[in-house]
Amino acid sequence: MCGRICCSLDADTLCCACGYKDTDGKQHKLTWANNELKYNPSYNMCPQDVLPCIMSGSHFGREKEEKVLCAMIWGMIPPWHQGNYKDRSNNISTHNSRLENIKTSTVYSPSLKNQQRCIVVCEGFYEWKPSINNKLQKQPYYIYTTQDKDIKADDSTTWANEFSETDGWKGLKLLKLAGLFGIHKNEEGKTIYSCTIITRESNKILSWLHHRMPVCLSNEEECQVWLSKDLSIDAAIKRLNDMVLQENALTWHPVSTIVNNGNNKTIDCRKRIKLKEISQASFMTSWLQKGSAASNKRKSTDDKDINSEEEKKKIRKEN
């Protein structure tokens, strides 16, 4: 599963970090698509925040080989939703979508049919490990792409972050997660983009931490294929199922429980800690914050949290 994300690079730097090589071997920076939403860097992005996503330029009338960045709400707006996208009383949790269900899901299958595939880019994501007896507070970890020697994922002073048309991006290696996006027209007729991160059963790399994990795209070829409009629905799903993540592809470290509170968005969220640094005081602070937020917490079962009877009927068709 994936419920919190870190992406602290500013919008211009992100264009360089997501650069790609064309068929002639030339490196290209990405550009941002015109959008009603704006990406704001954050060390602790939550569902309903705005994420940076890569998509095919063909969705904006450009060449299909071109890639663009697009700011999207994290959490797919259901196709049947009407009115203000911020008024989503249905409480369907759509920030993650199960790979096993996307083809039959009433929420995600329209995006598949319309070839609305995207890549969520980030520096890393957070996951929580339960205690052995489930009585103590869960321990959060920060998971990210394994970096080159001397580059520390939690210390931006170690990042070179340079781009050239010959060598491309030389800096922090980003995570690229397979996703789907939806297109919503609000009451003013403006287009709002929203996305979901596709998850699968965890492999042996992360199974110790959680039973599910995002589908990570390992290289430029996998990214290019996933975004291609020439890929059929069945071929796209098979492609994700067949992907094998190398054992050394991901790295992680424990972080402070301050990340538990979505209002905490400082650099300390991703800072490496020693587990013994978790004091009783910080435990109590986080516990109180968790308790105060519990009454407003939405139910979360990947893509199946429903309040209204009408939506229950729609989601039952997925099972």
Q: Is 279 a member of any domain?
A: no
**pLDDT by residue (tens digit) across 106-118?**
999 999 999 999 9
Number of domains in the chain: 1
Q: What is the pTM of this model?
A: 0.85
Q: What is the pLDDT of residue 13?
A: 97
Write out the two tokens for 313.
Answer: 């009927």
Low-confidence ranges of the chain (pLDDT < 70): 88-91, 277-319
Q: What is the pLDDT of residue 61?
A: 85
Which amino acid makes up residue 64?
K
**pLDDT by residue (tens digit) across 8-61?**
999 999 999 999 887 788 899 999 999 999 999 999 999 999 999 999 999 998
Q: Is 207 a member of any domain?
A: yes
Q: What is the pLDDT of residue 88?
A: 63
Q: What is the pLDDT of residue 83?
A: 75
Q: Which residues are catalytic?
A: 2, 127
Q: What is the pLDDT of residue 187?
A: 80
Look up the CATH number of the domain holding residue 54: 3.90.1680.10
Contact 158, 220 (CB under 8 A): no
H-type alpha helices, 50-164:
109-113
Q: Is 283 a member of any domain?
A: no
Longest dimension (CA), the chain: 58
Q: Which range marks the domain in which residue 106 is found?
A: 4-127+159-247
Q: Is 284 a member of any domain?
A: no
- Cα–Cα distance, 23 to 171 (Å, whole number): 23
Q: Is 119 a member of any domain?
A: yes
